[in-house]
Structure 1
Amino acid sequence: MALASLSDADFKTLLSENFTPSATIKTPERLFGRAKALTTIERAFASAGRQVFIYGDRGVGKTSLAETAAHLHQDSRSTPIYVPCANSGSFAEVMTAVGNATISITKRVERRGATGTYGATVFGTGLTIKPAEADLHHTLPDAQTLTGALDIIRYVLEKRPGPQIIIIDEMERIGAAAEREKFAEFIKNIPQLEERVKFIFCGIGTTVDELIGAHPSAGRILETISLEKLHHNYLWEIIRHVANQANVEIPTEMLVRIGQISDGFPHYVHLIGESMFWSAYDDKEEVTKLLSEHFRAGITGALERAEGVLRQQYQKATRKTKNTTDYEEALWAVADTTSDSRQLSEIYEASYKRIMMRRQRVERLMLTKELFNQRLLALKKEGHGSILKGYGSGWFGFRENIIRGYVRLMAEQAGVELGRDIR
């Protein structure tokens, strides 16, 4: 063990409590950089009829914010109700799931019928058939209708005392406009319910209108929170907290690089940090300061354990029968700054040329600007997973901002540093 101040059990506990790349955060002390958003939610809940809608990029921490806020305001005798929307799901499915959350899973799954028991009878020993005990049959109101959906929430409130927080997550998966309209109509009527129930809706999008449509009445009910990426100093705090607990020094430049690579998405910080500290723990010598080899192990581990969808997107975009490396380098150039959209000439002159100067050691030749433009245009097409999208003639950006961090990880592993504009 290279970290002398911690036992094996204590070290595992430290990592599991602070690095959670595969789980949401539910406590405010671990939700770095979201104090303002938590205050906004608290004040919204104090306003009669007000509900909350959190939207933003995938992976920015919407669910963690929602769950943390929900646990802060939920009655202690029960847990918040959390319902994720299914792909192409419906309003009725979501409302039914909310109602079912108050019913024991055993009662929902088991179906009792006639039971057989062995026992003594007047004719000897044998099988005695006994009728099953009466089973309570739970029938929820029809969730297809607005009245039925509201009655389901009233049922929840009868079953559960005290303040109740209901989270409806992944609203972007409700594809049909008619189903989104039902959600908007429901939101408009939430004030008809008891004040002790509050809703937090979450979805990937740039506006709430994308997720429930332009419904002015619903808009008056909602406190909307556009959740931005985390500022780099909050990303550093995630790592610093663990380093302090482990009595290990972490160089400032290493923190800066982790923040730059992560591009404001805590998911990458958790991946890099967890792998980096395991590398330090496995070191043969006692570690009092994290070194470059621990950082490199963090990058490698993050790539190996990153969300599979990100890996697949990158591979589909770049792994072709020819020009694979061209596509990688083009993506690296686009990912070099935090700008959501960049102009072709700026990408080529400010980023691509610098990257290719670095790549001379692996005997890579620089593409002409025309060929480089062709590679970017190809990366917008379905054959490359449409990893890029256009913002008008000659402007490019990532279809999903979270992929930028994965691209930076791949470049870092290849010895190319990106994101130096973040300080």
Structure 2
Amino acid sequence: MAPLNAEILGKLHAAFRPHAPIDNPDDFQGRESERERVETALITPGLHVVIFGERGAGKTSLANVATSKKNPIKVFCERGSSFSALCRSVLLKLSVNDPARLIYDARTQTIRSGGINLDLNSPTLSADDFRTLLPSGPTFIVVDEIDRIENIEVVHRLAELCKNLSTNRPDIKFVLIGVASTADEILRGHTSNVRNFRQIALERMTEAELSKIIAHGELVLGLQFDGIVKKRLVQVSDRLPYYVHLIAVSTAERALARGSQRVEVTDFELGLKAAARDCDAELSTTYEAAIPSVRESEIYRRIVWAVAEGDARVSPTAAITAKVNAIAKGEEDEPVTAQAVGAALKKLIKPERKQILTKEQNGLYRFSNPLMRGYVRLVRESR
């Protein structure tokens, strides 16, 4: 494959961004309703925003484009993040933007404003201390990956800070982002603050929204994806924008490298293989651990493939067995019993198989990592 020049590469990565959030509003496709709800909340006094959903759903991209004209302060959480550390990160970034008002002393690790001198390393840094150093006028603070915080008390203090600001500084807005299925999961049960938050759930995208991503890429690159390529790309993506961007960038790159303005099935098939290699290493490691490359492991591969089929997020043993035997039939192999599938399922939820699957209380099985579903589809389609 011939290397692309810098100009074409720049357009390619403006069209599709699987490995970095979108920050240019013109490049953000779909999620019109969610974007409008975030933007409306940001101009509503006292209302904060919590954005939640699966990995790969576009949460950070949504926050980026919705706050693009607000000059937001952005901080990222770590497992060991404390409330003081989060406040310190915000204040340090504010001091860079406004060094005349917020004077930071790197030697003493203090920040000064007027008659207030605050030790940024103090573990007792309070919400009131933080609030007194915030600038006058509208300020927007984005806290990403809040789900990573291990100490539940940190999340509770952050929620209490938002509640305090809603009353005393309604022009200060927090946007909290995290992987979760509900806002209550993000706030760790701190439901008393729900009225201060607009909850933005990012469900999987519709086929129409995913098609808009491809159409935007076509416009930016001056390319045309074959109809069958568009259809297969959307089907493999598991309705997550991450996979549409990942597969589309690899597929378009192959067409551009051969000097064509049309993305054909051959480009798509080669792009699938490249996309599988470019996926999160954790996905490939887990998949390979669950499916050893020996004849006896075919049942494990077929089970994993079966769970990735259809639109259901969870699958009962009977449905998995039926799909496993349909796959076996297509591969001209003998069927297996429900008991054999059940025994294999028990192994696939064990650590030695990287717990690729999780068993629900009602006896249903699902992928432990929601991104695994799309990865399995990608691997299966590229074989």
Same fold (TM over 0.5): yes
Aligned to 1:331: 304
The aligned residue for residue 156 of structure 2 is 181
Answering whether residue 56 of structure 2 is matched by residue 62 of structure 1, we say: no
2:27 is matched with which residue: 27, 30, 38? 30
1:157 matched to 2:130: no
Pick closer, same or farther for the CA change 1:250–1:101 going to 2, 3 Å: same
SS of the aligned residue for 1:186 comes to helix
Partner residue of 2:81 out of 80, 89, 114: 89
Higher-Rg structure is 1
- CA contact 2:289–2:353 (8 Å) conserved in 1: yes
Paired residue type of 1:174: I
For 1:214, the aligned partner's letter is: G
- Tell me if the contact between 1:271 and 1:298 (Cα under 8 Å) persists in the aligned partners: no
Give the equivalent residue in structure 2 for 1:317: 290
Give the CA deviation at 1:333.
Answer: 0.4
Which residue of structure 2 aligns with residue 101 of structure 1?
A: 93
Q: Is the 8 A contact 1:261 1:408 kept in 2?
A: yes
Q: Which moved more, 1:313-322 or 1:31-40?
A: 313-322
- Match status 1:379 vs 2:351: no
SS at match of 1:258: helix
Aligned 8 A contact 1:229 1:264 in 2: yes
Unaligned runs of 5+ in 1: 113-134, 415-423
Using the size of structure 1 for normalisation, the TM-score is 0.80
Aligned positions, number: 374
Q: Structure 1's 354 and 321: CA in aligned 2 closer, same or farther, altered over 3 A?
A: closer
**1:188/1:322 CA distance change after superposition, 3 Å:** farther
Equivalent position of 2:209 in the other structure: 234
The CA distance in 1 between the partners of 2:182 and 2:110, in whole Å, is 44
Deviation at 1:245, TM superposition (A): 4.0
Q: Say whether the 8 Å CA contact 2:15–2:221 is kept in structure 1.
A: no
**Which amino acid counterpart does residue 389 of structure 1 have in structure 2?**
T
Corresponding residue SS for 1:88:
coil
Q: 1:258·1:272 contact (CA, 8 Å) conserved in 2? A: yes
Q: 1:141 and 1:203 mapped to 2: Cα distance?
A: 29
Find the counterpart in structure 2 of residue 196 from structure 1: 171
Aligned match for 1:389, one of 345, 354, 358: 358
Letter in 2 for 1:374: A
Q: Give, in whole Å, the separation in 2 of the partners of 1:91 and 1:324.
A: 47
* Cα distance in 1 for residues equivalent to 2:39 and 2:96: 30
Residue 326 (structure 2) aligns with: 354
Q: CA deviation at 1:217?
A: 2.8
The answer to whether the Cα contact below 8 Å between 2:45 and 2:171 also exists between their aligned partners in 1 is no
Residues 72-103 of structure 1: CA distance to partner in whole angstroms, max 9, x if unpaired? 3x1xxxx3111111013222211111111123
Counterpart in the other structure of 2:372: 403
Equivalent-residue separation in structure 2 for 1:150 and 1:338 (angstroms): 48
Q: AA paired with 2:364?
A: W
Structure 2 segments unaligned to the other structure (5+ residues): none
CA–CA distance in structure 2, aligned partners of residues 54 and 249 of structure 1: 34
Paired position in structure 1 for 2:118: 140
In structure 2, the residue matched to 1:47 is 44
- One-letter identity of the residue aligned with 2:155: R
Cα displacement (A) at 1:259: 1.0
Q: Name the CA distance, whole Å, in 2 between partners of 1:384 and 1:100.
A: 44
Letter in 2 for 1:347: I
TM-score (norm 2): 0.88
SS state of the match for residue 177, structure 2?
strand
- The one-letter code matched in structure 2 to 1:27 is N
CA contact (8 A) 1:86 1:174 kept: yes
- How is 1:1-40 mapped onto 2 (pairs within 5 angstroms)? 8-40=5-37
Residues in 2 aligned to 1:297 and 1:109: alpha-carbon distance in whole angstroms:
54
Please identify, of 334-343 and 287-296, the stretch whose mean Cα deviation from structure 2 is larger. 287-296
CA contact 2:48–2:175 (8 Å) conserved in 1: yes
Instruction: Indicate which of 284, 294, 297 corresponds to 2:270.
Output: 297
- CA distance in structure 1 between the aligned counterparts of 2:237 and 2:146, rounded to whole angstroms: 25
Distance 1:222 1:265 in 2: 25
Aligned partner of 1:43: which letter?
Answer: T
SS of aligned partner of 2:309: coil
Is contact 1:235–1:266 with CA below 8 Å preserved after alignment?
yes
Distance 1:99 1:323, change over 3 A: farther
* Residue aligning to 2:242: 267
